Every structure is written in C-alpha cells, then in structure tokens.
Structure 1
Amino acid sequence: MMKNKRNDDKRMRQMLLTALLFLFPWLAGAASYVPLLRQLGMENIREAAGPEGVYLCWEDPVYRGPVRGLAEVLRQLAAQEELTQETHLVILENGWPQLLITVPAGSWTDYREERVTWTEFVNSLELTYDTDEAMRHFSDAKTEHRSAGKVDFVIYPQLQLRNSWMDKIYGASVNIAPAIEMQLWKGASFTGQVIFPIWNNLIGEMDYIRAGILTLRQEVRLPKRWMASLTVGNFTQQRIGADLQLTWRTADDRWLLGARGGLTGASVVQDGHWQVSRWERLSGAVWGRYFEPHYQLELELTAERYIYGDYGARLDCVRHFGETTVGLFAMVSGGEANGGFSFSVPLPRKKRMRRKAVRVRLPEYWGLTYEAQSGNEYAERRLGRRYQTDPVVSRSNRFYNPDFVRKQLLRQ
C-alpha cells in the first residue's frame, strides 16, 4: 500500500509539473535568441522572458533605415519552431528605445505554417512609440555585443547652390566631408567632420579645408514619451555653441510637439585661419507636427527666432515615398517671404558591412534644400538662418513612426 501511494504521489507531481510547463513555458527556460541577433549583426542586444512573453531589444547598425533589419529579424524569429509566445521587440537608437513591436502568440505559428500571408502577419503586429513598460523587463538583463567605442568613417558628399548675384547665373560649391562617428556610452555620441573643397566659384571660406560638424551629443529618453538632447560643438551656418532640444509625441506618433534653444557664436575661416567668437546669439523654436498615415504626409508648423535675431514662422509639407522624401515649405521672417522645396534620397547600400573596429561607408541618405528667397534684401539681412547639429539632413533618418514602419514592412 505504501509503495503504491508513493508511486501515485510521484505521478501526481509529474502531471502537475507537466501542466505548469505547458501553461507557463517560460518556467522551463526560454530559448535564447541573442545568438540569432548577433549573427544578423545587431548590437546592444538584451533579452528577457517571463509570463508576459519574450522580450528582445537591439540596435541595428547593418541595414539602412529602421525597416529592413526589423523585417529580417521577424522572418528569422518566425523560423524558430519553439517560439510560440507573445513577443515584444524594441528597436534602439544610440542606446535608447524608439519603437515597440508586439507579436501576438498565435501569429508566429500561423505565419510559420503558412496559414497567413506576410501582409496578414504584419497587420497583426502592434506598433507603438510607448516603450516604458517593455523596457522595465530588461532592468536585470545583460547587454550583449555593445556598440560603444566602435567607429564609423562616413564620407558625406556636399553640394551647395546659390543664386544671389547679378553677374553670374549660379554660385556653386562641391565638397567631400568625411566624418568620424562614434557612440561613446548610452545616449552619447561624437561626430568629427572635416570639409575638403573640390570645386567652387564662391568667395570666402569655400577655398579652405575647414571643420564641419564637430559635436558631442547626449540624448536622454524620459518617461511618457519625452526625449531630450544637448549638443555642444561646431554646427552648420558658421555657428559654434550649445543646442538644447525637447520633444514629446503621442504613442502612435501622429502628433509631435517640440522646443529648441541655442546659444551660439561665429565660427568662420578667414585667410586660412579658423576664428570663433563668444557665444552671444540666442535662437530658438517651438513646433508642432502631424503625420497623416494614408498619404505618409508630415505637416509641420514652426515659430522661430533665427540666428541673427529675426522672428518668423514656417510651414513644411513633406511626403514620404518609401525612403525618399519630397517637401515644400513657405515661411516669413523679418517681414520678408521665402519658400522652396527639399528632398532626400537613400544612398547605396541597403545593407552595410558589419562594424568591428572601423567601418567605412557612405551616409544612409543625402538631402538638398532649395530656397527661392524674395530678393537680395533677404540674403543681405541674413534672414531665416537656422543651423543643423547633425550632418544628415533627411526626414527618413531615424524615422520610427509606427504607421510609416508598418507600411514599409508590408513592402519587404
């Protein structure tokens, strides 16, 4: 009798353990997907598992834009037969979360067994900019394949056109501006750029080798979808100083509000010498943006105090055609009107070499802005001047809007 009772107790324990592992498979220890992400070349990888499902986050230094790398990760994960749980994927940029993608538990099996198409699979995903809750699961997770200290040597082509003279049709300059770009620690990055003139018919510093973007930048992701950044160094428009920026957006990134303030001085090359002045000019802006998902359209309204003290307002209308963007803008500053267009296009290659110590590459995107300007007075008074703190001028760069990402995923 005692022996039978012990056997019954043993069978009961085995049945209970089997039931627990069936209902809560994470108790058995989930399979690790870190090696898979490392094989794809992803960096800053973290992994966690719990009763809510599997959690993975990574930074993508290999694929151009935010979508191609995500599509490849989704396809590779879908091929893992043991993955049947709800999965939460977080894309990082410079160490900070940008986008959360939640894959329902049943979607993995349905796509793996071809019960649904890629389009149906993508439409089952939940995409949101609200990453706070998901990131709490990584608090004790170890970061694998860190990106800190790895260097990109990026060769930027530059083209500048001017039409402000009566004695020539156009002024132009063509430059090559290589830059060293490095992530230092979480949210911190360094950019060091030198501009080499190739050809120009302008006067001034255009004939000289000179500093381009030379900055130290620290970004911070704050709760409730706030993002702040402080950039110190040499900017465009012959400015040197400090720039502070703060943005907030809704979870679906349809609406965005931003504010920026800068304190700068002059940074010019005269007679071959680099000369800088005290940081005395205060500039700033507040803006709001709405993203219309059907036409992939951005509408942005900005009120701004420009570099040289003039005040104005600007309306931008930008449409995304995949990774290519085309925009129109109209503005008024100092009582004078201005307008023009802009565009940016992706540059080869779609997939870059994996970064080990130093990687040489082109920028992901190249952009150009044309200003009509309403007469010579606009140029002489230096109205509507705003600086950039980043060498990449493209609306596609670091664009993680959930509606945009889903639409581009459907095309992969």
Structure 2
Amino acid sequence: MRYKNSNIKKCLNTKTIARCAAFFLFCLLPLKGICQTGESTVDALVEMGFENVGWTEDDDERVYVLQNSAYRLQGVGIGKAVDVIQKTGLSEEKPCRIIVLDNNVPQISLYYHPLKGDSVPQAERKDWHVSYELGDAWESARKIKLKNSSLFKVDVLVYPQLAFKNLVITQIYQVLFDLSPAIEVSLWKGMKLTAQLKIPVYNDGYGKYEGKAHPGNLTLSQRFRLPYNVFGKATVGYFNADQYGFDVDFFRPFNDERFSLLARIGYTGTGYWDGFKLHYDPSTWVATWSLGGSFYWPQFNTQFTLKAEQYLMKEKGVRFEMVRHFR
C-alpha cells in the first residue's frame, strides 16, 4: 500500500492554485475600475470572507495580499477577488499585484500593468499575468498588518468516506462507510493542526476495529517557501493507511512554469486504533520516497507526472500519471 500525504483538506497545493487562477482569469468577463486608495477594497474583500487581507504601495506598484477562505475552489475565489480589485482597487497609473497566500505563506502573484497613455485603466482578466514570482514589493508587503487574520481560527469539516474491496469469493463487495468530522487550526504562519474522528455508519467485512469510532488523521504540518521558488511542507503525526511518523515534500517550478520538480521522503511505522487506544510496533519503521517531474499542458488543462518511488514494503517502482482538469 502506498503512503499518501496526510492533509485531509481538499485543497490545494501551489500548482492547483496557479492553474485555477489562470483558468478563471482567462475565461470570465472583463471588469473596469479605478480607485485612489486600496483601503475600501480591502474592507470589501474582508466582508466577502477573505482572510489575511492587506494592501500597500510604493513608487512602483500597488500590492494586495489575500487568502481565499470564502470559496471552496481556489480559482473561483481568486477570480472573485480580481473582480473586486478591478472594479474599485486599481491605481491610476501604477501597476497592481495580487499576492495569494496559503496559511499565510505566499504562493503565487497576479500582476497587471496598465497601458501607458490611457487616461483611465481598463483591466481585463486576460491582462493579469500569473506567476510564482512575488516581485520586489513583497519585502514591504510582508510587513503590513493584515485584516481578518486566519490565525487560531477553527475550521470544522465533515467528510463522508466510502471504502470497498472484493477479496471474498462468496461476497461481491465488502463495504465501509464512515462520517469523518475534523477540525483544522492555524497556529502560526504556515503551521496547521488537523484532528479527525472517524465514525462508522456501515461496516461489512472491515473488522471490529473499523466498527468503532476512532481517530483518523492527527497531524501537525508546516508549510514554507524557500529561496528560488522552492515550496515545501513537513508533516508529523498519525496518517492514513495505519501509518504514523513524519513526511516532507518539495515542489520546485522551473522558469518555464509548465515544468516542475517533485520530491518527497517519509519515515513511518505501523499502528492501528482500538477505539481510542493506539497499538503500534516500533520495529516496523520504513522509509518511503519519490522523486520526479511534472509537465502541465495548458492547451488541454492536463498534468503529466513521472516519478520513481519506494513504497511501504520497500518495493521500488515507476509511477506515471496523466490528470485532465475540468471546470
């Protein structure tokens, strides 16, 4: 069984944010606008539910900082924020940059440069350039006081989980259906606590342990951004697949952002829950890893990934994935 990342929230890593932002910017209708100050725009974004919102400007450009917590899909959320900024938040002459955060860690920026000679800027979504580069103004933007901070806020999520297997000749499928409520708390910049409880609703063939309410993912994860646009996340705790330990993964886009490098290493042991009592075997620790690359084909909104990996049984293999993203 291959070890998987423990972050249970469907959200999104930096690649997904960038692809969704580009898609919604190019597909929806243009909006126009101009504003002398960004304060009213920040207030409007906070009222819509965006977190970690702020703005600043210097002689070169105006910068907005925000985190989408109002919309389930990142692309939709970023698109809504661009709508508001285009309508009320552009400077008369200066370029504008939007820096998108994930748990207070910067991910991507959207950059708009007005045409010289225009008396009134006319911003359309196709005019915004999406990039992993944050620009020189980030050093100033990172110091501003943000409104509607996400720190110490508790998100309550409930996931339905369905599992089935076909191992018994006399039975077509064995089925397990759980409801899995979870809380997520942002403790500081990049740090998130996740605590999940699995409540069995229907258990046919998955054993007595899965028939009891028991913890699911219990993790602490720290996101970070290193120089040269290297993104990483370190996670420690109890994961899925009856594994506990730690895991670190990295993502590095090239200058041609369609191409990227991927790397992950984990060191985990085996343990299972009997109700709320954890049984574990300290002799079962094993290293798992993967190393590879990715190519994104924007014309067809398709991601290709090729990785060499080592799995929980110390088997090595090559994994190829082709994922087509839809609206």
Query: Which residue is equivalent to 2:128?
Result: 125
Larger Rg: 1
Q: State the 1:140 CA deviation.
A: 3.2
Preserved contact between residue 132 and residue 224 of structure 1 (Cα < 8 Å) = no
Q: State the 1:100 CA deviation.
A: 0.6
The reply to whether residue 43 of structure 1 matches residue 47 of structure 2 is no
The reply to whether residue 285 of structure 1 matches residue 293 of structure 2 is no
2:108 is matched with which residue: 99, 109, 129?
A: 99
Query: Which residue is equivalent to 1:265?
Result: 269
Aligned residue identity for 1:180? I
Query: Which residue is equivalent to 2:186?
Result: 183
Q: Distance in 2 between matches of 1:108 and 1:157?
A: 54
Q: State the 1:103 CA deviation.
A: 1.5
Pick closer, same or farther for the CA change 1:271–1:50 going to 2, 3 Å: closer
RMSD of aligned alpha carbons: 2.1
The reply to whether residue 236 of structure 1 matches residue 236 of structure 2 is no
Preserved contact between residue 232 and residue 249 of structure 2 (Cα < 8 Å) = yes
The reply to whether residue 153 of structure 1 matches residue 156 of structure 2 is yes
Pick closer, same or farther for the CA change 1:247–1:31 going to 2, 3 Å: closer
Preserved contact between residue 214 and residue 234 of structure 1 (Cα < 8 Å) = yes
Query: Which residue is equivalent to 1:88?
Result: 97
Aligned residue identity for 1:145? N
- Compute the TM-score of the two structures, normalised by the length of structure 1: 0.65
The reply to whether residue 304 of structure 1 matches residue 309 of structure 2 is yes
Q: Distance in 2 between matches of 1:163 and 1:188?
A: 39
Q: State the 1:246 CA deviation.
A: 1.7
- Counting matched residue pairs gives 286
Q: State the 1:101 CA deviation.
A: 0.5
Q: Distance in 1 between matches of 2:137 and 2:257?
A: 17
- Pairs within 5 Å for 1:1-400: 30-32=37-39, 33-80=41-88, 83-84=91-92, 85-106=94-115, 109-111=120-122, 121-131=124-134, 133-204=136-207, 205-251=209-255, 253-270=257-274, 273-278=277-282, 280-322=285-327
Stretches of structure 1 that go unaligned for 5 or more consecutive residues are 1-28, 113-120, 323-412
Q: Give the 3-state SS of the residue equivalent to 1:38 in structure 2.
A: helix
Preserved contact between residue 238 and residue 244 of structure 2 (Cα < 8 Å) = yes
Q: State the 1:242 CA deviation.
A: 0.6
Q: Distance in 1 between matches of 2:170 and 2:237?
A: 36
Pick closer, same or farther for the CA change 1:269–1:167 going to 2, 3 Å: farther
Deviation string 1:370-411 (CA, Å, 9 cap, x unpaired) is: xxxxxxxxxxxxxxxxxxxxxxxxxxxxxxxxxxxxxxxxxx
Q: Distance in 1 between matches of 2:253 and 2:119?
A: 30
Q: State the 1:271 CA deviation.
A: 8.1
Q: State the 1:297 CA deviation.
A: 0.6
Q: Distance in 2 between matches of 1:82 and 1:289?
A: 35
Q: Distance in 1 between matches of 2:289 and 2:146?
A: 37
Range with greater deviation from structure 2 (138-147 or 258-267): 138-147
Stretches of structure 2 that go unaligned for 5 or more consecutive residues are 1-35
Deviation string 1:103-152 (CA, Å, 9 cap, x unpaired) is: 2224994547xxxxxxxx12211110122534223143222221100011
Preserved contact between residue 192 and residue 214 of structure 1 (Cα < 8 Å) = yes
Q: Distance in 1 between matches of 2:119 and 2:54?
A: 21
Deviation string 1:133-174 (CA, Å, 9 cap, x unpaired) is: 342231432222211000111001101121223221112111
Deviation string 1:324-356 (CA, Å, 9 cap, x unpaired) is: xxxxxxxxxxxxxxxxxxxxxxxxxxxxxxxxx
Q: Distance in 1 between matches of 2:103 and 2:314?
A: 33
Preserved contact between residue 53 and residue 67 of structure 2 (Cα < 8 Å) = yes
Q: Distance in 2 between matches of 1:270 and 1:31?
A: 54
Q: Distance in 1 between matches of 2:256 and 2:66?
A: 21
The percent identity for this pair of structures is 26
Deviation string 1:195-253 (CA, Å, 9 cap, x unpaired) is: 01110212332212111111000111111110121100010110011111122112553
Preserved contact between residue 208 and residue 269 of structure 1 (Cα < 8 Å) = no
Preserved contact between residue 267 and residue 274 of structure 1 (Cα < 8 Å) = yes
Q: Distance in 2 between matches of 1:207 and 1:148?
A: 35
Q: Distance in 1 between matches of 2:159 and 2:89?
A: 43
- Compute the TM-score of the two structures, normalised by the length of structure 2: 0.82
Pick closer, same or farther for the CA change 1:109–1:157 going to 2, 3 Å: farther
Q: State the 1:34 CA deviation.
A: 2.3
